[in-house]
Amino acid sequence: MEEDVRLMKGNEAIAHAAIRYGVDGYFGYPITPQSEILETLEAEMPWETTGMVVLQAESEVAAINMVYGGASTGKAVMTSSSSPGISLKQEGISYLAATELPALIVNVMRGGPGLGTIHPSQSDYFQAVKGGGHGDYRLIVLAPSSVQEMADFVALGFDLAFKYRTPSMILADGIVGQMMEKVVLPPARPRRTAEQIAEQCPWAATGRRGGRKPNVLTSLELDSAVMEKNNERFQRTYSEIERNEVRYQEYFTDDADYLMVAFGSIARICLKSIEMARAQGIKIGLLRPITLWPFPSAEIARLSRKVKGMLVVELNAGQMIEDVKLAAAGTDVPIYHFGRMGGIVPNPDEVLAAFMKHFGNESQK
Amino acid sequence: MTRQDIIKPENLVYEKPRLLNENHMHYCPGCSHGVVHRIIAELIEEMGLEEKAIGVAPVGCAVFAYKYIDIDWIEAAHGRAPAIATAAKRLNPENLVFTYQGDGDLAAIGTCETIHAANRGENIAIIFINNGIYGMTGGQMAPTTLEGMKTSTTPYGRRVDLNGYPLRITDIAAQLDGTCYVTRQAVHTPAAVRKAKAAIRQAFKNSMEGRGTSFVEIVSTCSSGWKMTPEAANKWMEEHMFEKYPLGELKNTVK
Amino acid sequence: MAKVSGAVVINEERCKGCNLCVVACPTDVLALKSKEVNDRGYHFAYPANEEACIGCASCAAVCPDGCIRVYRMVEK
């Protein structure tokens, strides 16, 4: 398959990107608003073309454990779900992290808590970047704000997962999952051969090929001294990721007097608000974290010393703002939050009004 | 004829399989797990599957199975072994993939994964150790605990009005269209060990040939949990467990 | 008639003294040491009546710890 320009939903883009990346297996379970990922894969029948396995599991719990099983054999495997389903997967995600297994998990967030709503939300930020499951672990968390990024982050997510032997997550929301946009799909690349997997993943459980020593994939260690060493190794990996893999995008920050910080779909709405503000002579910039973990703390710290005020805009009650405040610690720049919950998405006027409420008097001087 | 005359390499008729390594197993004296581990190691050697075998270990007493049998292993979360095996086998159809699970793992917390993997007819072998008790956590009631049986969470004996009935999950597995071979065995006598070994051989063969799900229950003892000597536990198993869990083949579509 | 003679060698350190081999032996070859214990404190099995062994490997079949090697020889 050559590079291809298509119009499609973000969820569909993830499915197509997965096939083209050469993913070995997808294991999912239906839940709104992400079911198109599984539906698209079933309709595309990649097992006929690339040999990719696609399976509708009996539950989210089974699906994430299928990912654990597939990843243990060195294969590139993924699952997707939405918020309540991601809660069910947390046990498996913790095991993946603890066993140092590469895998990709997609969360197309809907509003919670509980069964909540099927409408868009960003209220799983804490769950994604602070752990979610038990134990000291981190996920690489990528936040797409366009259908193009939905497609691109499949490859990025897998590349980082395999580079660091740790699971990564695409933390999207119902807007990016459901909206249709132009997307450039990458050319297809072949799935890795058994030999390539053996070379890339010498730790994988593939059968003791050539009589090598047994490979055992486990997170269990009853010797506390060894378990602490394991944890120290995980933390070294996380430190390396924090050094190397921070990604963000800035808009109009060069001359900004104020800064908005927003991720995913709401960042695009903020951008429109900023255009409106600039038409009135109010210079606002935007920082859009692409990696929510590792978080662009250093860049936010730098900007916090430059601007007069910051507004963190999220589709939740105020989650990422905690990381923004940590990043800006030591400055006295005022930092406020604006968010809507329950599946409500504010329009640019509302975002701008929120900004003006906090900074209107001083910014128009 | 002296002992020294007999003990010569050419007269060796049995020794533990090489794949069952030199690590001392943590199981209590007389535990059935050790026998089943040994059978599995023997079969993998005899069938030449050392470079093909991927075992999925449970949570429970057999959590450390991977320390004793020198093949590739994946350690599962409690009850999830059939889901893990599903993906391992689908993504590696040339491999032997088997799960090794106890009654709590397979028939309580993992019932959903067990039933659905078997119902899809995944080409895996499920080895199910049923000793009617949670051994590792200290002898609590299992789904397969017999009526009246004392455990640490049924100290006056299991009452069906409070705790429900012992679960014959192997009978359920036999009803599923995805299973090709379902059998219930034991390892308490030399003859039983031979039969159990033949059953697991068949299950491994089915996995390699892609025949569907094979389900081998081994009715087992837990002398520590049952608070008996290993010998008395075997006798108690014959007298009580076999009534609820009769030995023999429940299903075989491969014949 | 050919006479079958057997012998068993027990890995004493691996043995946990569960007694199942003693019970399984059809010719009452095996017993547990009554006083002596191995490094882990178990009264391990040993061939107390070794002349009776026929090398049938019943003991090895039921041994949960893979402790027993069995030899058999047929005298013509």
How close C27 comes to chain B (CA, Å)? 14
**Inter-chain CB proximity C20 and B32 less than 8 Å:** no
Q: How many CB atoms lie within 10 A of CB A148?
A: 17
**pLDDT recorded at residue A365:** 61
Closest residue of chain A to B89, computed from CA coordinates: A70
Domain assignments of chain A as residue spans, ordered by start:
4-195, 249-363
- Structural domains in chain B, CATH included, are 27-252 (3.40.50.970)
* Residue C53 to residue A322: CA distance in whole angstroms: 76
Percent of chain B's residues with pLDDT above 90 = 98
In which band, very low, low, confident or very high, does the pLDDT at B216 lie, cut at 50, 70 and 90?
very high
Nearest to C61 among B31, B193, B229 (CB): B193
CB pairs under 8 A between A and B: 130
Which whole-number Å values give the CA distances from B206 to A69, A213, B36, B129, B255, in the listed order? 20, 26, 18, 19, 11
Give chain C's domain count: 1
β-strand pairing of B53-57 with B72-75: parallel
Q: Could you tell me which of B7, B89, B24 has the C-alpha nearest to residue B54?
A: B89
* Contact C42/B at CB under 8 A: yes
In which band, very low, low, confident or very high, does the pLDDT at B200 lie, cut at 50, 70 and 90?
very high
**pLDDT recorded at residue A131:** 84
Q: Is the pLDDT of residue B109 over 70?
A: yes
**pLDDT recorded at residue B62:** 95
* Contact B240/A at CB under 8 A: no
**pLDDT recorded at residue B1:** 75
- Ramachandran angles phi, psi of C35, nearest 5°: -115, -40
Q: A311 - beta bridge partners?
A: A260, A336
Q: Which CATH architecture has domain A4-195?
A: 3-Layer(aba) Sandwich (3.40)
* Residue A19 to residue B135: CA distance in whole angstroms: 45
- Give Cα A332 distance to the centre of its chain: 30
SS (H, E, C) chain A: CCCEEEEEEHHHHHHHHHHHHCCCEEEECCCCCCHHHHHHHHHHCHHHHCCCEEEECCCHHHHHHHHHHHHHCCCCEEEEECHHHHHHHHHHHHHHHHCCCCCEEEEEEECCCCCCCCCECCCCHHHHHCCCCCCCCCCEEECCCCHHHHHHHHHHHHHHHHHHCCCEEEEEEHHHHHCEEEEEECCCCCCCCHHHHHHHCCCCCCCCHHHCCCCEECCCCCCHHHHHHHHHHHHHHHHHHHHHCCCEEEECCCCCCEEEECCCHHHHHHHHHHHHHHHCCCCEEEEEECEEECCCHHHHHHHHCCCCEEEEEECCCCCHHHHHHHHCCCCCCCEEEEECCCCCCCCHHHHHHHHHHHHHHHHCC
Q: What is the pLDDT of residues B127-142, one digit of tens each?
A: 999 999 999 999 999 9
**pLDDT recorded at residue C1:** 62
Mean pLDDT of B192-210: 98
Nearest to A62 among B49, B54, B83 (CB): B83
ipTM: 0.97
* Contact A91/B at CB under 8 A: yes
How close B48 comes to chain A (CA, Å)? 12
DSSP label of C67: -
Q: What is the pLDDT of residues A139-197, one digit of tens each?
A: 999 999 999 999 999 999 999 999 999 999 999 999 999 999 999 999 999 999 999 99
Q: Which amino acid would we find at residue A153? A: F
Q: Is the pTM of this model over 0.95?
A: yes
**pLDDT recorded at residue A329:** 96
Q: What is the pLDDT of residues C34-76, one digit of tens each?
A: 999 999 999 999 999 999 999 999 999 999 999 999 999 998 7
Which whole-number Å values give the CA distances from A110 to A28, A339, A346, in the listed order? 17, 15, 15
Nearest to B72 among A61, A67, A214 (CB): A214
**pLDDT recorded at residue B220:** 98
Asked if A339 and A313 touch (Cβ cutoff 8 Å), the reply is: yes
Domain holding C34, by residue range, is 3-75
Interface test with A, best of B67, B84, B96, B115 (most A CBs within 10 A): B84
**pLDDT recorded at residue B10:** 96
**pLDDT recorded at residue B255:** 76
**pLDDT recorded at residue B72:** 98
Query: Which stretches of chain A drop beneath a pLDDT of 50?
Result: none
Written out in words, the top-level CATH class of the domain with range A249-363 is: alpha beta
Residues of C with Cβ-Cβ distance to B17 under 8 angstroms? 66
Q: Which residues of B touch C (CB under 8 A)?
A: 1, 3, 5-8, 11-17, 20, 24-25, 27-35, 38, 187-190, 193-194, 223, 229-231, 234
Q: Which chains sit next to B, with 3 or more Cβ pairs under 8 A?
A: A, C
**pLDDT recorded at residue C2:** 76
Asked if B200 and B176 touch (Cβ cutoff 8 Å), the reply is: no
Q: What is the pLDDT of residues B172-197, one digit of tens each?
A: 999 999 999 999 999 999 999 999 99
